[in-house]
Structure 1
Amino acid sequence: MTVRHVRACASKVPRDAAVGNTCKVPLGAIVSPFLSNKKTPMPMMPWQGKRLGSGVRCVRCRAMASRYCHVAEDRVTWRCALCGQQNKVKEADASRLLLMQTNHDNGDDEENHGSVSVMEWVSDASVSVKVRRTLVLLIDVTLDADHFEMLRVGLLDFLGKVLGNKDGPSRLAMASFGSVATLYHLGEEEGGEEATTSSVVEGDAFPVSLQGCIGGEEGQRGLAVATLEANLQRYFLEVNRTEGGGVSSGERERVLRRVERTLRAISPFSSRRNTPNHERPRCLVGSLSLVSKAIKMCEWSLDDGQQGGLGGSNQNLTSIMVVGGGNCTKGPGSIPSEDHPKFIHLEREALSFIEELAEFLTERSVVVDIFGAGHVSLDVPCLYPLTQNTGGCLMMYETFGKDLFAALESAYNRFIGTSAVMDFHLSADHFNVDQIVGPIKPVSAKNRRRAIAEGNGGSSGGGGSLLSDNAVELTSVEYDHGITLSLSMRADIPGDSTFFQVEVWYASLDGCWRHRVITSRISVTSSGREFILSVDPLAVGVTLAKKAMVDIRKAKYSRKVVDGVKKDLADRIYDIARNFSPKVRGDSGGIVARFFSKPTCLLKEELAILAEFVYHLGRTVAFTENAHRDEKTCFVAHFLRCGVESCARMVWPRCLTLGPQGPVALPAADIALQMEQHFLMDCGLDCFVWVKSNSAVGSTAVGDRERSILAKYNEYMWHFMLRGRFPAPEMHLCMEGTGNARYLQSRLIPTRQDTPEEQADQVRGLGSLEPGLRNAHITSLVSSFHCTDEPSFREWCRQTSLSCGSQALGIL
């Protein structure tokens, strides 16, 4: 199976612009530029000279030539596939043009997904400089003794794993935050000898008044800067790596020994007053400010690095991983309670400081990942700019357990490069770019100037900037990134196909500069039926979901806005079905019914999946009323950066049971609670393992049976579904009759509210059972669970004036 770098909403587009803009089906695509096909590796082309790629460009639209371009028989001219411009073939470009037409990764699937061509230029490895990674651990010292011990053990295990990676850290630093921020002396002494046990635990503690290294009074900043400069080399521990990128066992033990001594010297929080967690002093943002100042002073963070490709001027990648047990309650960035007389003023100051700090870190390729554990709010919306603008993540877990530290490891390993710039080329006569959603930011002025200089100095394609007005920078370079491109049609399309092109420049972790060009061809049709049959329901659903989540996040998850967005999504599905359904069943009632009720539209198979996706979307954390705003913000932040598969998993739960013949997929419906003794539900960020109670025992206590079932699913997930997946989901055991079961039940479709006939239609497994057994399952389901205010999928369809007929529930 060919990797799909471009997941278009439909493999065909309407010829008529009026139809394309009014059919309610979103036009666009979800681009995953960093995917790779391990079975058929992408062909690499050499990076010639210092140019930003060595391809041939169109003089009009500045798009790269591809295999879809037409070259004249005499090889004197070639026609651009995007704009139709006739370009002259220069003598120096003839060989490159031939190479670009023949050397590509062909992702053809004309019938279902269109055609995609991928080319990539790679710089010479002999002149490349490997990206050096720096890891800074920022830990919370206001934890209780038992939690801090779990944190200490987990961090040492995490460091032991990442140090062994070929892309492991070359420098390591550690800091903590509580009532003060402390930078620890992990580095060597001035004499170069191994530090003694007593000196390892030394550090420079900065009171809250001195943490404002970005803002604050001049005298305070000067004192903090002087202290940092005097001990700069002692903060960062250099890790001696081999030529292949690994570390020797002796070096690994040396690093872990110094970190362990530092962690053991830190005293957990103690208070005579038994201060609750949410009131403990945490200067989280102030400690980040202090660490950022130390990073700025290091010479390696100021490397100008002008060689190589567009986008990256820094051959270093710094990760700050914050592990905390609560929100920032002290120092810069802390927000007082809402009853404070100066709440509005102080909140504005705190948010301004955080945004300024985030911009400061972004300029230096510093990524901030924040992990929270426990049951204390992190105040995620306040910290969101730090992770969003720097390309980091913000995750929350229940305990300082295995799942948290697995997430730390997957977060560190998720990067495949740094400093990426992305550009989109479309036929200017046919399409406009309405919106780009993803982990993006505006292109910096430095990259704009460099693109102009390279475009004017290039040997092909005439002068002008290499970047169009659609260009953006990516906050990070990760395998699972998905950038959503929303389009609108400007004019009718005369030809039989249309094209758009994506260009990405980035530096991979091995130091090579890469220029990837993805060109997609989409067929044009005059038939509405052909168009709707070519729709990719998951791509359309994810596109609509990302737009909706951007809107509700801007409205701060206001209930009124959320309800309005849910209604708009349901109405949009109805409009699509009404526009393209071959049959519309009208109401044969009286004149009032004919004028004031909507006709019921039949949902055919191609639209039933989209309707079910939208139904599941309204039941996610982002749209529910009872979820905490921290959960909503974390969910939305991760959803907006992911590709189609990850987004679909977060919206539409994936259920399966492990039988004697292997895994068996199940519909995400509550009837599975009765049909199966145990099954797993994967919700993207969380995984729930359902275990039916043993009637012979009659107990809800976790026994050997439940532990073995959980271990079986855990082993299956880590071997087959979680390898390389970010973030690593948290596993939950949900036993029948326990409080945890409500989390799983809230995501399953409540088919118990449907008639037995509708249940048999929706769940094909019921139809294959004997009538007596089927009725027993349905009766037991209805008697075991209450009916809820949440409609089933069939009830939701009836409320939306849709009809599924005998369509079964989809299985993701």
Structure 2
Amino acid sequence: MDFYENEDKNGIRYSWNVFPSSKLELIQLVVPLGSLYTPLKQTKNLLTVNYNPVSCRVCKSILNPYCQVNYQNKTWICPFCHQGNTLPKGYHSITPTNLPAELFHTYTTLEYKLSRAPPPSVCYLFVIDLCTEPDEFEVMKERLLEAIALIPENAIVGVITFDRNIRVHELTFSQLPKSHIIRGDKRHSTKSIKEMLGLPKIPVVLERKDITNNNKSNSSPYSTIHRVLQKASNCEFVLSTLIEQLQPSYWPVLVGQRPDRAVGNAIHVAETILSSRAGAGRIVALLSGAGTVGPGSIVGFERTHAIRSHHDLLKGNAKYTAPAKKFYHEIAEMASQNSHSIDIFSVALDQIGLFEMISCPRLTGGCICVCESYKHENFKKSLNKLFQPNSSHFDARIQVKTSQNLQYIGCLGNCFSANPQKAKKKPTISLSGTNVGKNLLQKSSQLRISTLTNNQTFAFQFDLVKKKPNQDQNEDNKTQRKQQQQQQQQQQKKQNKTQQQQQQEIGLIQYRTLYQHNGEGWRVRVTTTAHRIVSAQTRLQLIKCGFDQEAAAVIIARESMNKTESAKPKNVVRWLDKNLISFSTKFGTYVQNQPRTFQLEKNFSLFPQFMFNLRKSPLLKIFGYSPDETTFHKHCLFQENVQNSILMFQPMLFQYSMKDVPKPVLLDSSSVQKDCLLLLDTFFVVLIWRGKKIAKWAKLGYQEQEEYKDFKALLQMPIRDSYNLLNDRFPSPRFIQCNQGTSQARLLQSRVNYSQRYTTSNQNIQQLPNLQFENNNENACLTDDVSFQVFMSHLKKFVCQN
């Protein structure tokens, strides 16, 4: 079974592609039944049609290749609720040889262009931190001007700056700049902010004539919002002039104190302004430090009081954290309900409070970019990619439907639960009583994402429906009684029976994504997948052949991140170890009490390695990482697809040498040689490492000599490959070049597996002269970390003795 082909076609991968037949069998498989779905993936041969989809009158599922169509009566049976539907007039001419695209099995993913009125233009509201060093502030203005030039002309823009106070700038008159000032050290309600700024209580649609006609807007009751939010093409000069004339904060900062930053109030004011306008929007926050003033503050003024660490959070010594998280969560819910996303660019050497602010990008589909300086290239590339055409889509809603033999549990991803209105009839969608995640799904199969990128991926989990006893016998008796009715009804009921029998063997899942395509028109992308349901007792080998170990590892990684919200990382690691032992016991082949006989099949063999690297990755290893860094890593894991997610806990390592062509090598200390170059891709960092011999040759300048042009080409190969990674990824990762033995080389040392270790001739490890290299390998390391070989030996021991 080709999982990659299915991903290229439908943008989806399942942990189990053949489903078990009961809840108990699924529990015994250890790995949950889940999918990783990228709704807007640029799939192969994606077909876009210019008409509205045909939906079921009962459950609203979309017509798909797995529906049973009666070409004579012009009807079709929904495979999800088994109800009959009449085809619209436009479909009355279809025949088995003349089918619409949605009935072809080659188009299990189809996109529809809806005939709806175009949505309002997207609004970009910039929130700029003025408490920045002067040299950094000038670079920030240059980068911001470059990015603003990429904004579409029909987009709406606005600017807010803040330090101790918040300034809402008007964009109507360049010669006399005007701004509204709001205190930042006081908590304001949304109602009071609207009253202070003169904003409408009900969201209004800013029509083109209202925005361009500045003279008439002064007499309008909504004149403030017209002056604050302007069309990009109309205020290009005013906006550029405003940014060029911005100056760093003039508030004095005493020695030993932090600047006054009203971060929480600034984001609250920005969301309040956007909520006064109908339509999608983005809040782009450029932050240079932690909030110290007003609601949302995470630290006090005195620098003697350090920002909270993981140790403080575990001990309950972070007094600012709980109220700040609650404040930002309220803003995030408000933004998500209004189809607004919040993007955070953290540009600072210290923490800015991402741990407390994570609800803002997580619930709205916003992005997070972390860098140390505005001068770094990854900030420039990430900010520019934010405004690239066709890179982001808005106001998305994802709905998941399952057949009656499956239950939908929930979603783990950066999204918000959109609770639909209660229907009069009993819902036909199967929902399980278990909820995954605290803020992602609460007994609802509809999700909202304010901003949806082409690469954004969601993890959905499913369960099997518990069958009722004597269900098949009751259905047969009911069918016999139906045969006594009229001939037309009898034929219809036979079709229903056939459909139900097929549903007992096949599980159907349909994903429907409604979104604003690039802020222009409405589109719906529909993906329908079918899976065989077999008994694990009699056909376990068929289920094993459908196991996707890469997708399963990512689903387990997301579930472990979800558990860290309420459990300590060490307890999550124990949960991983327990599941891995159960998994290996279930699918491994071995002789009792003989660990050397333990083996896993090919499509299971990498799963223990994934779990080993997940245990030691920054996702679960909090030592040496700040809460902000850990939060950033978790956010990216919940955002990315399978390949990028695996890189986060099992990086790729490529080797370049004069002896061989560039090739991927094991993430092991044996691959670290002094006569080669290595390219390490951890998703967050792209690192080029030079061995001692290569670094010495480069220092002597051999690459500048004509007779050593091959050496020059060798030095350029990893740089060229790294640029491809930097240009394709968002947010752009850090790019580092280092030599063996330098301080930055520790990034490579911390991720490789040390299969070569020190040995001692004496049991006292403190006697350093007795330390020796195993196999005379100079890459051996004195470390407390367990190697993969030792990890596997213990795993085999536990499994064979279980």
Give the TM-score normalised by structure 2.
0.76
Counterpart in the other structure of 1:685: 684
Query: Is residue 618 of structure 1 aligned with residue 615 of structure 2?
Result: yes
For the pair 1:490 / 2:458, whether they are aligned, the reply is: no
Q: Does 1:181 align with 2:162?
A: no
CA pair 637-106 structure 1, distance change in 2 beyond 3 A? farther
How many angstroms apart in 1 are the aligned matches of 2:97 and 2:184?
Answer: 60
Find the counterpart in structure 2 of residue 797 from structure 1: 792
Whole-angstrom CA distance in 1 between matches of 2:265 and 2:782: 49
The equivalent of 1:417 in structure 2 is 393
Distance in structure 2 (CA, Å) of the matches to 1:97 and 1:745: 64
CA deviation map 1:46-91 (0-9, x unaligned): 12xxxxxx314274x5433321223346445544444555656676
Q: Which residue matches 1:391?
A: 365
Once the 2 structures are TM-superposed, how far is the Cα of residue 703 of structure 1 from its aligned partner?
A: 12
Matched, 1:46 2:43: no
- How far residue 512 of structure 1 moved from its aligned partner, in angstroms, is 2.1
Letter in 2 for 1:151: M
* CA separation of 1:403 and 1:444: change in aligned 2, threshold 3 A: same
- In structure 2, the residue matched to 1:543 is 555
Distance between the aligned counterparts of 1:230 and 1:213, measured in 2? 21
Does structure 1 residue 33 correspond to structure 2 residue 39? Answer: yes
Q: 2:295 — aligned with what?
A: 332
Q: Give the 3 Å change call, closer, same or farther, for CA 778–735 of structure 1 in structure 2.
A: farther
**Which of 115, 127, 134 is the aligned partner of 1:138?**
127
Deviations 1:474-514 (A, max 9, x none): 34322112221212222479854322111222221252221
Provide the rounded CA distance (Å) in 2 between the counterparts of 1:230 and 1:80. Answer: 51
Q: Is the 8 A contact 1:321 1:368 kept in 2?
A: yes
For 1:610, the aligned partner's letter is F
The 1:409/1:97 distance shift into structure 2, 3 A limit, reads: farther
**Distance in 2 between residues matched to 1:188 and 1:803, nearest whole Å:** 72
Q: Hey, what's the Cα distance between the residues in 2 that align with 1:699 and 1:62?
A: 65
* Residue among 88, 108, 116 paired with 1:117: 108
Distance 2:779 2:597 in 1: 33
Partner residue of 1:376?
350
Query: Post-superposition shift, 1:520?
Result: 0.4
Paired residue for 1:653? Answer: 651
* CA distance in structure 2 between the partners assigned to 1:129 and 1:355 by the alignment: 31
Is the contact made by 1:100 and 1:119 (CA closer than 8 Å) also made in structure 2?
no
Residues 89-168 of structure 1 aligned to structure 2 (within 5 Å): 94-95=92-93, 102-104=100-102, 117-124=108-115, 128-129=117-118, 131-160=120-149, 162-163=150-151, 167=152
Q: Residue by residue, what CA displacement relative to the aligned partner does 1:766-801 show, whole Å, maximum 9, x if unpaired?
A: xxxxxxxxxxx9856x42442311112221112222
Label 1:530 to 1:675 Cα distance change in 2 as closer, same or farther (>3 A): farther
- Structure 2: segments with no counterpart, 5+ residues: 200-217, 309-315, 429-441, 468-500, 705-710, 760-772
Question: Structure 1: how far apart are the matches of 2:130 and 2:703?
Answer: 36
The aligned counterpart of 1:565 is 572
1:280 matched to which residue of 2? Answer: 259
Inter-partner Cα distance in structure 2 for 1:238 and 1:523: 53
Partner AA of 1:146 in structure 2: D
| 1:682 partner amino acid | D
- Find out whether 1:746 has 2:727 as its counterpart: no
1:203 alignment partner in structure 2: 179
Residue identity in the other structure for 1:70 = Q
Q: Tell me the CA shift for residue 554 of structure 1.
A: 3.2
1:364 alignment partner in structure 2:
338
Of 327-336 and 8-17, deviating more is 8-17
Match of 1:587 in 2: 593
Q: Which residue of 1 aligns with 2:231?
A: 238
Task: Indicate conservation of the 8 Å contact 1:432/1:488, yes or no.
Answer: yes
CA distance in 2, matches of 1:505, 1:751: 50
Q: CA deviation at 1:231?
A: 5.2
Q: What CA distance in whole angstroms lies between the structure 2 residues aligned with 1:4 and 1:797? A: 36
Measure the CA separation in 1 of the matches of 2:580 and 2:701: 44
Q: Which amino acid aligns with 1:443?
A: A
CA-to-partner distance for each residue in 1:133-167, whole Å, 9 max, x for gaps?
A: 2222222222222222222222222223x23xxx4
Question: Do residues 321 (structure 1) and 300 (structure 2) align?
Answer: no
* Gap change, CA 1:515 and 1:655, over 3 Å in 2: same
Query: Which amino acid letter does the alignment assign opposite residue 293 of structure 1?
Result: T
Count of residue correspondences: 689
CA deviation profile, 1:453-472 (whole Å, cap 9, x unmatched): 9x99xxxxxxxxxx995222
Amino acid in the other structure paired with 1:549: M
Q: 1:107 to 1:544 in 2, by over 3 A?
A: farther
Change (3 A) 1:129 1:564: same
Q: Residue type of the partner of 1:603?
A: L
Q: What is the DSSP-based 3-state SS (H/G/I as helix, E as strand, rest coil) of the residue aligned with 2:352?
A: coil
2:665 matched to which residue of 1? Answer: 666
Residues 32 and 168 of structure 1: is their aligned pair in 2 closer, same or farther, counting only changes over 3 Å? farther
Paired position in structure 1 for 2:526? 517
Which of 730, 734, 738 matches 1:734?
738
Matched with 2:380 is 405
CA contact (8 A) 1:3 1:35 kept: no
Q: Is 1:637 matched with 2:612?
A: no
SS at match of 2:293: coil
Contact 2:194 2:272 (8 Å CA) reproduced: no
Deviations 1:699-720 (A, max 9, x none): 999999999988754443334x
1:500 to 484, 509, 521: 509
Equivalent pair of 1:436/1:486 in contact (CA under 8 Å): yes
What is the deviation of 1:95?
4.8
Q: Distance in 1 between matches of 2:637 and 2:123?
A: 27
Residue 307 of structure 1 corresponds to none
User: Is the 8 Å Cα contact of residues 64 and 103 (structure 2) preserved in structure 1?
Assistant: no
* Paired AA for residue 479 in structure 1: N
SS at match of 1:286: helix
**Cα gap change, 1:70 to 1:741, in 2 (>3 Å):** same
Kept in 2, the 8 Å contact 1:600–1:802? The answer is no
- Cα distance in 1 for residues equivalent to 2:718 and 2:270: 41
* CA deviation map 1:596-623 (0-9, x unaligned): xx99742332212111111111122121
How do residues 687-706 of structure 1 correspond to structure 2 at under 5 angstroms? 687-694=686-693, 697=696
Q: Is the 8 A contact 1:372 1:395 kept in 2?
A: yes
TM-score, normalised relative to structure 1: 0.75
Q: Residues of 1 paired with 2:251 and 2:137: CA distance?
A: 12
Shift of 1:639: 1.1
Aligned to 1:476, what secondary structure does the other structure show? strand
Determine helix, strand or coil for the equivalent of 2:564. helix
Structure 1's 603 and 134: CA in aligned 2 closer, same or farther, altered over 3 A?
same
The separation in 1 between residues aligned to 2:78 and 2:662, in whole angstroms, is 48
Alignment gaps of 5+ in structure 1:
48-53, 109-115, 190-194, 242-250, 303-313, 457-466, 589-597, 756-776, 806-812
Structure 1 partner of 2:494: none
Q: 1:370 to 1:468 in 2, by over 3 A?
A: closer
Q: Is the 8 A contact 1:440 1:473 kept in 2?
A: yes
1:215-249 per-residue CA deviation (whole Å, 9 max, x = no partner) reads: 7xx6x8754558997754443343228xxxxxxxx
Deviation digits for residues 443-462 of structure 1, max 9, x if unmatched?
Answer: 255xx37x889x99xxxxxx
